[in-house]
Amino acid sequence: MKFLQSLAKSKVRLGTVALVAALSANIALSRPVQAQSRTWATGLTNIAAAANGGRIINVSSTIDNDAKFAATNLIDGKVYNADKKTGSFGWASDKYDPVNMEYVTIGFKDNSLHTIGKIVINPAASVAPERWVKDVEVEASTESAEGPYQVVAQLTVLKKGEPQEFTILPAPARFVRLLFRTNYGSDRAVALGEVEIYEAVNPTDGLGGLISRMEGAVNELKQYRQAQADTGGTTVADAASDNGVTNAALTSSNHKPGKPQLSEATLQLIQQNGGNPATASAASPRNIAAAQNGGRVVDFSSTFVSDPAKGADPVYSPDNLIDGDVFREKDNAGSFGWASQGFAPGKQYVTIGFRGDRTHVINRIVVNPSSNQSSLRWARRIDVQVTTESSKTGPWQTVATLNLRLEPVNQEFKIPSIEAKYVRFVFMANGPGDVKLPGIDQDVNSDRSVSLGEIEIYEPAAESAALDSVIGHLQQILVDLKRLYEQQGKNT
């Protein structure tokens, strides 16, 4: 097939080419997309972003005509961070009118026509959360910014300052108008932080059809994993068959009411991926951040300078955080831990990646603040951020804040299960926080450095590790395929 030839010539992982070749030999790519996926596959490029040619065509009003709240903030790729007071302010209307409704109209590069399939909204704007948008009507026009418009979706945005994805039925659009029906309780304005729009993948195209089925399988696997966690289930498959994968939930004699199920198509994808979650062996939790297990420090802000003439002191290398050793004051032994050069909240960080840059689901973090630095410099509060994309540029999502006791012991923190390719630890406070000096910032007990002894990161229980591996591998393949799909679209 032409798309397989293109894939082989493109700069994608060899594993992707091999798996797609196997899938094309065993799955009829021309058949309709299965109903297993109640979502539509979408591309990787945010076509509403100003960086990609998107622009604001019309806006109903702007609060106090203040340029800081211009609607262009909605497509600038920046979101307001209330804790750090960074990012753009988002957009806010000059009034709240649930009858006539405030609106924003977005156009694409060169007024081009696209089939849209996903909208992402982050309500975080630099206003009271009561003004954040709640209910949104999405309209599309294929003719002009003035219309006529057709309603293509009704969305309800949660009162959470985070990106919220909405997959919609694919609809042609040259212009997209968002009408804001309600907010969270203010009669002054309606506001939001960022809007992203993504194209739907054409499922009748050979490559598009494969992408659609794989994305459906990944979504189904994620739902299955969550259902297993909610119901106390064990593995993706209840027993092994001759071909290595089966699903007892599909067999009437084994089916239990309410038990999560996987479709035959999804099981076939798992099998082609070489996975067999049913045979995952029970094992003790493994620290996937440890250097001996393939963990590595991929980025950091700075390293302590003991002697300005010599520069960064290697005895305080961030690699000490994953060496399995901590400083022991009683015998003055162990690694010294990591220490930064200077400290200001939010400026010092360390980023950790896993073996082979693989994406893992993590749910537990252990830290030990012990270093040979003064306890005034020991980390007291750390923001944990994750990304499944770039170790340098993210995008980063804050998933937890760790409040440490200034004790030289391992301290365990359970977090909601989250996918992470890289985990960044951002240091927000050091020392005991009770220094009684005039004008001192209690988050900065020492501006000379912030230090930490050891970091450990763990996946959920062993029985779900194989499923996580399959999901992570399929997601990496999907990214490759979507990049190729978009590149083919540019060349046609």
Among the residue ranges 28-37, 160-169, 379-388, 435-444, the one predicted with the least confidence is: 28-37
The architecture that CATH gives domain 291-460 is: Sandwich (2.60)
356, pLDDT greater than 80: yes
Determine the pLDDT at residue 329.
83
Is there a contact between 363 and 456 (Cβ–Cβ < 8 Å)? Answer: no
Determine the pLDDT at residue 209.
85
Determine the pLDDT at residue 313.
95
The larger pLDDT score, comparing residue 60 to residue 242, is at 60
Tens digit of each residue's pLDDT (9 = 90 or more) over 202-248: 888 888 888 888 888 888 887 777 766 554 443 333 323 333 323 33
Name the residue with tokens 């590069």.
Answer: 109
Give the closest residue to 178 by CA, choosing from 123, 216, 111.
123
Burial state string for 337-358 with b = 16 or more CB within 10 A and e = fewer than 16 = bbbbbebebeebbbbbbbeeee
254, pLDDT greater than 60: no
Percentage of the chain with pLDDT > 90? 60
The larger pLDDT score, comparing residue 226 to residue 297, is at 297
Domain residue ranges in the chain: 2-38+204-282+470-475, 42-200, 291-460
Alpha carbons 54 and 48: distance in angstroms, whole number = 4
Distances (CA, A) of 136 to 104, 153, 170: 11, 8, 17
How large is the average pLDDT for residues 19-48? 59
Is there a contact between 142 and 174 (Cβ–Cβ < 8 Å)? Answer: yes
Is there a contact between 345 and 428 (Cβ–Cβ < 8 Å)? Answer: yes
Determine the pLDDT at residue 255.
40
Alpha carbons 338 and 353: distance in angstroms, whole number = 17
Tens digit of each residue's pLDDT (9 = 90 or more) over 150-166: 999 999 999 999 999 99
Q: Is 40 exposed, middle or buried (0-12, 13-18, 19+ CB in 10 A)?
A: buried
Average of per-residue pLDDT values in the chain: 83
Tens digit of each residue's pLDDT (9 = 90 or more) over 66-89: 999 999 999 999 999 887 888 999
The architecture that CATH gives domain 42-200 is: Sandwich (2.60)
Is there a contact between 260 and 237 (Cβ–Cβ < 8 Å)? Answer: no
Structure tokens at 260: 């999560």
- For the entire predicted model, the pTM comes to 0.58
Banded pLDDT at 413 (limits 50, 70, 90): very high
Among the residue ranges 153-157, 429-433, 463-467, 475-479, the one predicted with the least confidence is: 463-467
Determine the pLDDT at residue 416.
84
Banded pLDDT at 28 (limits 50, 70, 90): very low
Tens digit of each residue's pLDDT (9 = 90 or more) over 428-438: 999 998 766 67
301 contacts: CB under 8 Å, gap ≥ 6? 340, 347, 348, 349, 350
Backbone angles phi and psi of 327, in degrees to 5? -70, 135
Determine the pLDDT at residue 243.
31
Alpha carbons 253 and 469: distance in angstroms, whole number = 29
Determine the pLDDT at residue 248.
31
